Structure 1
């Protein structure tokens, strides 16, 4: 079940219709209080969350969800007219798993929902630990430690690292990483992956050598120096 908190009836009805037409169960709510009442009866698999709402701001709704044990890991995509870079950073830093600015394409939205649900279904066990060289990642705690030092990553940097480490030795093309991590295909946007890989390596320091470039193909995690 997917819930949507959106006070504009036209947008809410359109998205719910699109989701149901794609074979998903979906329900829409106009106010945070209506959403909370529904969630007291049944928790959704994913929440689509507007930011500018009656009763309270969407970021406050998100922060309350992240502070409650039963909804701490609930996948949340923010759908909002506030689409500046600062707005997106604020939303992601508040705990959103993805951030989509209005207006948005229905196919892109559904693709991102499916990608996020796939990642959520692969939720790590509490004891899971991923290692490569001097790099350790604890998915259940969302912690990355490089040569004994805690490293702070953005959501996409973390998702990239997690995918590569969980499939060490497997080569991923830029297009496949864009599809799996960002949840959609954009022709000519593969440079987005290169930029994130570069900043990821910089933050990991010497442990960045774990991420190898496969010329003409993409990237993999393994031993040895980067190209």
Structure 2
């Protein structure tokens, strides 16, 4: 049974989400603020987090800070459910590694559908292969870990999906549109092409790939990963 952590300070909304999650066959737990959410996240295993951005406490204890904190150590799927409906809020959360974003008021049935879609996507990313090796790059799909030159690299969820998509087909040039399709859900397809450039720049920085010896830019076309796939 999949486990859902609901981080929401509004009791009525939290209980409504819990009701629909339980009816859909999920096990749930609720946290009403960042400290309790972090405690439950570290003490209890969860398969997905539903996160409100407007949580009680100081500015440092809102949903954004919680999202940043968990992304330091986990790629667990996160769906934002918030009353903030500005485009900048949606973009910031997606860039920080959220998997989906819904605004309040929302349809509980649609939320459940999105939960199932995100969980399917997360599972499929790890189902077919367990380890991808391209030169000194290693991607462990089961542990959701990336190492390069024997050094563990901490990535956001989108960065992990991006490097995985490139590594599965080394030498192939991917357009920005193809990479958007590979790492974003259908309802996120309004993401700008240049968002991929930002992800690539962040990947290169984290990998120490300043000379672009690993991730090459195909001018006017897109990006490709350099190397040969080790199928041993």
Pick the TM interval, shorter chain.
0.5 to 0.7
CA distance 1:168–1:76, change in 2 (3 Å):
farther
Matched with 1:16 is none
Matched with 1:177 is 179
Q: CA deviation at 1:87?
A: 3.9
Q: Is the 8 A contact 2:54 2:63 kept in 1?
A: no
Q: Aligned match of 1:193 in 156, 173, 196?
A: 196
Gaps in structure 2 of 5+ consecutive residues? 86-101
Q: CA deviation at 1:206?
A: 4.2
Matched with 1:29 is 18
Q: Is the 8 A contact 1:171 1:220 kept in 2?
A: yes
Q: Counting helix residues as a fraction of each chain, which structure ranks higher?
A: 1
Distance 1:114 1:166 in 2: 25
Q: CA deviation at 1:214?
A: 2.6
Distance 1:185 1:150 in 2: 30
Distance 1:176 1:222 in 2: 18
Distance 2:125 2:42 in 1: 16
Aligned-residue RMSD, C-alpha:
4.4
Matches within 5 A, 1:72-111: 72=46, 74-81=47-54, 87-94=63-70, 95=74, 97-98=77-78, 100=80, 101-102=82-83, 103=85, 104-105=102-103
CA distance 1:205–1:162, change in 2 (3 Å):
same
TM-score calculated relative to the size of structure 2: 0.60
CA distance 1:93–1:3, change in 2 (3 Å):
closer
Distance 1:59 1:176 in 2: 39
Higher mean C-alpha displacement, 56-65 vs 172-181: 56-65
Question: 1:29 is paired with a residue of what secondary structure?
Answer: helix
Residues 99-126 of structure 1 show CA distances to partners (whole Å, capped at 9, x for unaligned) of 5343345699789656623422315369
Residues 71-101 of structure 1 show CA distances to partners (whole Å, capped at 9, x for unaligned) of 44x133424335x897425324325533534
CA distance 1:8–1:219, change in 2 (3 Å):
farther
Higher mean C-alpha displacement, 91-100 vs 138-147: 91-100
Matched with 2:154 is 152
Q: Which has the higher contact order (CA 8 A, sep 6+)?
A: 2
Matched with 1:18 is none
Matched with 1:210 is 214
